[in-house]
Amino acid sequence: MSTTIQSGQVGYHVENGIGVISFHHPTHNSMPSPLLQILSETIEQASQDPAAKVIILKSAGDRTFCAGASFDELAAIEDFATGKRFFTGFAKVINALRKSPKLVIGRIQGKAVGGGVGLAAACDYCLATQDAAVKLSELAVGIGPFVVGPAVERKIGTSAFSQMAINATEWYSAHWAMERGLFANVYPSIAELDQGIHALAQNLAQSSPEAMRELKAIFWEGTSHWDQFLEERAAISGRLVLTEYAKRAIKK
């Protein structure tokens, strides 16, 4: 199954108990609102699919995992309701990953920016290549990583999250991200990354679904309020994107 929208695409298929969700957008796998909506719905579909014992989340190409929010759409925001709705898109995807009863493996083959870091952090286990540098660029355009922040902070800790959020123009290496828990392992090449992911996914597909479901619930304890919490965070970004500072920074 695949769904194409606004030059982007989300695909889903199952093989040998492994559900694979893939997304693509020609602009460095950035995510416009309609594509985020389809992605969250696809995650929910895979989560309820009895044929999928474990889920892999991946993107197309070999350079960028996800460049975050669509800047064209960001620049076009003119009112608070539109701004809040825009930032709620990533909140829906993060919450869909959080609420899935199945373990989600993130395949981070390239750079991740902003919302892309949030997607990686919301996966239960991430494997990456040495080219998968990460950056939280939101403050540099007058906003802040408010929506993805809870997922990132939960995974790497307050100190490392603060470092990324404050130094918003800095790339942090894949090995830096691994040392802080965002990635479980870093591979020299995409081919080796795929071997590692396939081996892990095969093992998990043979594991007890009930045990994995219980583990998933434990991993995400204390986040049952995130549906409302991330919506409130989206409102902060929706307000800030309308400021003159943000408008100038985004235009620049």
Whether the Cβ atoms of residue 168 and residue 135 lie closer than 8 Å to each other: yes
Which has the closest alpha carbon to 112: 47, 198, 176, 158? 176
Average pLDDT over residues 104-118: 98
Matching residue, tokens 């989560």: 47
Check whether 187 has a pLDDT greater than 70: yes
Burial class for 15, CB neighbours closer than 10 Å (0-12, 13-18, 19+): exposed
Say whether pLDDT at 203 is over 80. yes
Average pLDDT over residues 179-196: 98
Q: Is the pTM of this model over 0.75?
A: yes
Identify the bridge partners of residue 66 per DSSP, sorted by sequence position: 112
Q: Please report the pLDDT score of residue 36 as a whole number.
A: 95
Mean pLDDT of 29-40: 94
**57's tokens:** 């989340």
Position with higher pLDDT, 83 vs 7: 83
Q: What is the mean pLDDT of the chain?
A: 95
* Residue 23 in tokens: 């997304």
Structure-block tokens of residue 70: 């669509």
d(CA 193, CA 170): 25
- Which runs of consecutive H residues, i.e. helices, occur in 79-189? 80-99, 115-122, 149-156, 158-166, 174-179
- Tell the residue number behind the tokens 């898109």, with chain if given: 89
Residue 251 has a pLDDT of 83
Residues in the chain: 252
Distance from C-alpha of 66 to C-alpha of 244, rounded to nearest angstrom: 27
Please give the C-alpha separations between residue 195 and each of 79, 81, 152, 229, in angstroms, as whole numbers.
Answer: 46, 44, 26, 37
Q: Which two tokens stand for residue 98?
A: 């959080």
State the Cα–Cα distance between residues 99 and 95, nearest whole angstrom: 6
Residue 128's H or E segment, with its range, is: strand 125-129
Of 124, 126, 129, the closest CA to residue 110 belongs to: 129
pLDDT at residue 105, rounded to an integer: 98
pLDDT at 4: 54
- Round to whole Å and give the CA distance between 107 and 119: 11
Residue 6 has pLDDT above 90, yes or no: no
Q: Which residues contact 235 (CB under 8 A, 6 or more apart)?
A: 80, 84, 87
